[in-house]
Amino acid sequence: MGQEIQKVFADHTLCLSVDVDGEWCNDTPQVIVDFSSRTAFPRTIELCREHGAALVIGTTAITKEDVDHLRSLGQDVPVIQSFNFSVGVNVLKMILREFSSYLSDWDLEIVEVHHNRKKDAPSGTALLLKEATGRNCPTHSLRMGGVPGDHSVFFSNEGEVLELTHRALSRTVFALGALRAAQFAVTAEPGFYAFEEVIACAPKKSSS
């Protein structure tokens, strides 16, 4: 993801980098983008406070306590947090929140597939989708090959099946979402934002 983010942000200046080999900084960043691991989380918070930088964070497996720290940081700088920066997944989440109640008497299960190096199961995205349905449904995780991320939500009764599926074809979609969130963060007021709030602020196309 770090490589994908650098490709997508190629028109912007990289002035801060942190990885397992250390860190370097040659200017003051406006936005820090973190898609690493929870072990880097405390340092990320420190760097945002040190530079007064906004934060776009897609780190998975963070805890409720971590989210509380992000909300606290959001009192001073814009913070955009999501377990998935795909536009499609976030629209799917909105659809589930809006319409799942119409299928409350149907069976419901979620299946997610990711590459075999993904550490958490179920994925943070699957948990977000589950939360959006408002139900405590079974969630199934498959770890295979190099799949960037597939999520399917199944509703079924005795006579029909409704399947809602999102498939990420490459990790680039998450990097593009991070860029969109960073562009939002540059002009946003301090606060704690979900990525769907960034999507909702997208300019509407003219009907003329």
Pairing between β-strand 78-81 and β-strand 54-57 as defined by DSSP bridges: parallel
Which residue reads 């009192």 in tokens? 75
User: So what's the architecture of 2-84+171-200 in CATH?
Assistant: 3-Layer(aba) Sandwich (3.40)
What is the per-residue pLDDT for 202? 59
What is the per-residue pLDDT for 155? 98
Q: Which residues make up the CATH 3.40.50.720 domain(s) of the chain?
A: 2-84+171-200
Evaluate the CA torsion angle 10, 15, 16, 19 in order and state its sign: positive
Question: pLDDT tens string for the chain (208 positions)?
Answer: 878 888 999 889 999 998 888 889 999 999 999 998 888 899 999 999 999 999 999 987 788 899 999 999 999 999 999 989 999 999 999 999 999 999 999 999 999 999 999 888 999 899 999 999 999 999 999 999 999 999 999 999 999 999 999 999 998 999 999 999 999 999 999 999 999 999 988 544 433 3
Please give the CATH superfamily to which domain 87-168 belongs. Answer: Dihydrodipicolinate Reductase; domain 2 (3.30.360.10)
What is the per-residue pLDDT for 80? 97
Q: Which of 60, 55, 85, 59 is nearest to 73 (CA)?
A: 55
What is the per-residue pLDDT for 204? 43
Q: Which residues make up the CATH 3.30.360.10 domain(s) of the chain?
A: 87-168
The residues annotated as belonging to the active site are 114, 118
Tokens encoding 124: 């943070």
- Say if residues 50 and 16 touch (Cβ distance below 8 Å): no
Say what the pTM is: 0.83
DSSP 38: G
